[in-house]
Amino acid sequence: MMTLTFRQVCICVLLATIFWGLATLFIRFVPDSFTDPVWGTIGFITALPVGFFCVWLICRLANLSPEQSLAGCFVVIADSMLMDGIALRWFPALYAADDHVARLGAAWLLWGYGASAWIGLMSATVRQRMASSGVHAGG
């Protein structure tokens, strides 16, 4: 695994902040997406393609080599989780006025982080294998 440049780290931190902010706004302003059983399930399912898109976007915007992609994804996931931890502990009203909605939103966030971590790992593995075989890895 290659280390990230300062510029790449800054881009990853900026992306983490944007992703976290968008997820927070979604929880705050579309609470029915978490309390309704059907929409709640759809939210968990749609987190998967969103995770693939986010991993692709991280690699693309931070210009990550195949060897750097896992580190870049880790920076974004770790920073987003830190922001969530701070917000859930000291500013839970950012997510929702209702604790039930905040809890369901937090579950969705955790699911999204876990899914994105697996997607990032799989993506990094594929990109590294493609690069070692001489195939353009994209990203």
Residue 132 C-alpha from the chain's centroid: 27
| Domain housing 14 | 6-132
Q: Is residue 137 domain-resident? A: no
Q: Is residue 83 domain-resident? A: yes
From the number of C-beta atoms within 10 Å of its C-beta (0-12, 13-18, 19+), residue 100 rates as exposed
Q: Could you give the number of structural domains in the chain?
A: 1
Q: Is residue 139 domain-resident? A: no
What is the pLDDT at residue 136? Answer: 66
137 confidence band (pLDDT: 50, 70, 90): low
Place of tokens 């969530």: 84
pLDDT tens digits, one per residue of 29-50? 999 999 999 999 999 999 999 9
What is the pLDDT at residue 45? Answer: 97
pLDDT tens digits, one per residue of 58-67? 999 999 999 9
pTM for the full predicted model? 0.91
Q: Is residue 53 domain-resident? A: yes
Closest Cα partner for 21 from 109, 89, 101? 109
What is the pLDDT at residue 1? Answer: 58
Q: Is residue 35 domain-resident? A: yes
Q: Is residue 28 domain-resident? A: yes
Q: Is residue 81 domain-resident? A: yes
